[in-house]
A and B are shown apart, each in its own frame.
Chain A
């Protein structure tokens, strides 16, 4: 059984006595009737303009309708909705104002940033709207509309995103209003708000916006007809006749009997369906119900509309916690179980609420196990309850509880697993299915109000049976124990909390329906007929009483008393012990046996039986009594009841209506004593039989209980199976997901595999995978250059394959790698040494870090070695260069520094690398020099320049620099290098050359001056031009000769002997020159002395040739010299002595030669010279210093 709708939490009739609801909505119905307009609330989000327009372009203005439009609007948004809608309709469109009465032919639009509600037909506007998380304008309005207009409310959910509207729509539906939602192009509810509304299952019709106005008009018309019927002879009559037919149909089709639901509730529900189906009479509806199987479901669901929420009536839960749960938990340990039953649980909120309360009360540290049986007849609700998933916002749940007991999943809240596991949901009818037992709490709220008193009473007995002694029963605010107050004690009257009373009174009354297709239908039917049967009993009994006026009992076939009449107490004397209505336990002892016989006879014979002459002690006085038993027939003519009457006035009656068997026996003449003995015997037999019967009954009862508990176990097994099925389903889903994941992983692996294969194919590095036994795994194509490998060799040991490289250590290396897990590197040389390979053997680690062989990589390093060699050569060249070679980066940071740079600038490579180039600039560098360094682009720097750079010692050296930018393959400059040459030597050489040039100039001029002097002197001393010519040329030649000699020795000086021979050379006469004799040590003369002395020698030789010893054939010349050291200076003594020649005549004038020797030579060489013209020959002595006097000494 579901929890049928009950007043919402905040509605004014909360807690009102049962029946008020009906009264109120009927009043509303009348109120709205006739000319009151139907108020239609339409909700859409901001994008719903088009839908509004379409709606109103199809909706004619009518006195029957007023519209209120609720749109999601940004608070600051000035809405043009009113304007836009007014273009589509002739109705007046206005923005809602607080306190405005809703009139027909009007459209009211929600103002921005406001909450719109309705109360007593007047709009209420409150501003500002609540912040966004709590802003549900459509829900808010629909709810107030439902409360205000009852079943006259109409709500429409148009397009929009989100869930707003769903909750309000539920309220409208609960109050019996009409609910519509917009359909998409596919005739299903449009996604977003309409779909969310439809998912509640409470939308009456899903249709397109264009069709809605027609639907509304038809609905209004239908509503008016219905109301008219209600007013007059009305639906009541119509319905009353047909209600049973409708219920029977529903019972047959759906399997649930609503026969004991309140008539008013049932009629209202059926009427609602009729409105939706647009059928005018119940007969029509019945016809439709017969044809349309779908309608059964709709009606069934309509009956089951359940509104429930978490912690409904919070104060009740506080009382429950305080008064019941504490008592339930008292004395319970971890091995105990607390059992709770929530019949009519609907979507499970009540059950979860109790579960949370219990969890909170038990605390986190264990405690008794809790089983909450939550049942409902609505399988869809149970399905929803099992999922434990609730749409936000959660009403009635405090933030702490939300945090503690729920997890957020998108827009939904999910009950956490521990709480979910406490609850067992199952489809179960409280009316037709056996109850649970040994319960600690039954919470059955707002279910009983829909049931009639008989059924209520039966259910209380059921609950009494199901609960443990002292256990609790919780009812809804409008429900009470009424007739069954004897079964329970009141714990909290206001909150309808009761405790089971310890009594066996109820045991008798319980008759559990036995599940099964036949009886399931039959039993409730018999119940349904019960009301009529009672009347028949009464009528029959009254008819009988016209004949007999004594007190009487009506007994059923079991001997249970159904009716008391008259002063029966005189004849009753109940047994001590548990109370019973069994007539044989109640009657006076003396009357029991006669009554038993009489009643049996009456039932068996189906006729009246009388026992006369019985004597009973009444109030201590014996009284004669006549017992009359007469069966009461039912419609089939069978005896169903029996009337047992006590006639004390028997003695006065003369007319005997009937004769008893005993009477006749006695009249047969048997002796009384024998008869009495026989009676005693029979009595004892009977007692035994009765006792036996009672024990059998007890056994049956205990068997029944066993079946009950077996049934219950089966129920919970079923529930577990359901849960298992759900789990299987979710496992299945997970497997699907895992499968999908595996597939995508597989794809990724395939991709990776293909990548790997491509890598293997394309790599130039020969790679070989070996397993632990050195068998070939896979290898790259480059391997075939190293080993004679083929595809078919995979799996063979590598040692069987012949290698193209010389690698005898293979086995040893692999073994070592596997043993030590290190890496072995080795250089290998191919055949003819033409290729060189770098081999690395590494362990092969699987992803689990297990060593499963080795990986051999052979890198061809031939090229690399060649490059290395070239690089080494270049490096050697650079290092050996006399020029400083400096590499630098684009940032002008020194990146290389060769040996010569170290030598030139004093910095070591370590000191220089990393420093900026500008460290080479001296402090006083010119701006021009700095500019070269400031240009950061090596390409922009001049190719060649000269500069003055600084060494580490702070000296400056002139350098000639060549700059060359380093370019990459595409020509971009990536670095630069400078080649700097120390040019200080060249500078010196240049200076030297300049000086030499000056010196040369000087000497030439001096020589010219000498020539000038020779010319002038020779001119003076020559008598004729001929002689001048001869003398002058001879002197020039002598001078030239000396120059030649000096030049030959690079002006380093001339040997004295060489000088003399040179002077004699022009005279190619062996005979004469051989007479010149030289004596003296080897002596080298300075150019200055050599020049002066050669002039003198020339004059002496010329004179000797012309006039002296060499002019004839006998004369000789002795030339001798020696060096003396005087005053620490070397002095040369030179002597020229002629002899054997013609006699010498002393010249009268001093000729050029004489002046030269005696004046010029002595002056020039700072020495002394004498020339003597002796008769035997000329003698010349010259004494000159060989070294200059130090001017300082």
Chain B
């Protein structure tokens, strides 16, 4: 909760508009119907893995990174190439990452 708020503040400070989803269902809704430029996916969404969301994002060509307390070990093979942000976050890293993502687009 506090972490999500922190991320949102950080992203908005960087000039982004941030949309949050704490549940998979809501996340899928956002990923499917809203226009988003990039996404940071916590692997664990209220006890559920967020990989279905990653599938949708990948399909739609939306760049994303994972964020996890598990580190890279929690990522399935299909997403081995996707970067994983380690908790607790390095804010500078996040900003740099966002910048890179957006620039690529």
Contacts and interface: CB of A to CB of B under 8 A. Distances in A.
Interface of A: 998, 1001-1006, 1008-1014, 1016-1017, 1020, 1088, 1092, 1095, 1155-1156, 1159-1161, 1163-1166, 1188-1189, 1191
Nearest to A1091: B1
B56 interface: no
Nearest to B46: A1188
A1163 B1 contact: yes
Looking at A1009, A1012, A1166, the one whose CB has the most chain B CB atoms below 10 A away is A1009
Contacts of A1016: 6, 9, 91
A1156 B9 CA distance: 13
Contact of B1 (A1001, A1011, A1156, A1191): A1156
Interface in B53-78: 68-71, 73
Contact of B88 (A1005, A1020, A1166): A1005
26 contacts: A1001-B69, A1001-B70, A1002-B44, A1002-B68, A1005-B86, A1006-B3, A1006-B69, A1009-B69, A1010-B1, A1010-B3, A1013-B2, A1013-B6, A1014-B2, A1016-B91, A1017-B2, A1017-B9, A1156-B2, A1159-B5, A1160-B1, A1163-B5, A1163-B22, A1164-B22, A1165-B22, A1166-B22, A1191-B24, A1191-B48
B88 A1088 contact: no
A1164 B24 contact: no
A1017 B9 CA distance: 9
A1191 B69 contact: no
Given A1001-B70, A1002-B70, A1166-B23, A1009 B88 contact: yes
B60 to A, nearest CB: 20
A744 to B, nearest CB: 98
Given A1008-B88, A1160-B5, 8 more contacts: A1001-B70, A1002-B44, A1002-B69, A1016-B6, A1017-B6, A1156-B1, A1165-B22, A1166-B46
Interface in B1-29: 1-6, 9, 20, 22-26
Contacts of A1013: 2-3, 5-6
A1012 B23 contact: no
A1006 B88 CA distance: 7
B8 to A, nearest CB: 8
A1166 B6 CA distance: 18
B18 to A, nearest CB: 11
Nearest to B86: A1005
B87 interface: yes
A1034 to B, nearest CB: 15
A855 B46 CA distance: 91
B62 to A, nearest CB: 21
Contact of B70 (A998, A1014, A1159, A1164): A998
Nearest to B5: A1160
A1159 B86 CA distance: 24
Which of A1004, A1095, A1188, A1191 gathers the greatest number of chain B CB atoms within 10 Å? Answer: A1191
A1009 B1 contact: no
Contact of B4 (A998, A1008, A1011, A1163): A1163
A1156 B86 contact: no
A1191 B1 CA distance: 20
A1163 B20 contact: yes
Contacts of B86: 1005
Contacts of A1156: 1-2, 5
Contacts of A1011: 88
Interface of B: 1-6, 9, 20, 22-26, 44, 46-48, 68-71, 73, 86-89, 91
A382 B69 CA distance: 135
A1009 B89 contact: yes
A1011 B48 CA distance: 23
A269 B24 CA distance: 154
A1020 B5 CA distance: 13
Contacts of A1004: 69
Contacts of A1010: 1-3
A642 B5 CA distance: 197
A1165 B1 CA distance: 9
A1005 B69 contact: yes
A392 B46 CA distance: 124
Contacts of A1095: 1-2
A1002 B84 CA distance: 14
Contacts of B6: 1012-1013, 1016-1017
A1132 to B, nearest CB: 16
Contacts of B89: 1009, 1012
A649 B87 CA distance: 201
B7 to A, nearest CB: 9
The 9 A-B pairs at the shortest CB distance, nearest first, are namely: A1005-B69, A1164-B1, A1013-B2, A1002-B69, A1009-B87, A1160-B1, A1013-B6, A1012-B88, A1009-B88
A1038 to B, nearest CB: 12
A1006 B74 CA distance: 14
Given A1002-B70, A1013-B5, A1095-B1, A1189 B25 contact: yes
Nearest to A1020: B9
B69 A1161 contact: no
Contacts of B91: 1016
A1017 B8 CA distance: 12
Contacts of A1014: 2
A486 to B, nearest CB: 150
A1008 B87 contact: yes
B70 A1161 contact: no
Nearest to B20: A1163
A86 to B, nearest CB: 114
Given A1006-B69, A1008-B87, A1009-B88, A1160 B24 contact: no
A1003 B87 CA distance: 10
Contacts of A1188: 23, 46-47
A1160 B2 contact: yes
A1163 B42 CA distance: 14
A1009 B1 CA distance: 10
A272 to B, nearest CB: 134
Contacts of B48: 1191
Nearest to B21: A1163
Interface centre among A1002, A1095, A1189, by most chain B C-beta atoms within 10 angstroms, is A1002
A225 to B, nearest CB: 142
A475 B71 CA distance: 143
Nearest to B26: A1166
Contacts of A1001: 69-71
B78 to A, nearest CB: 20
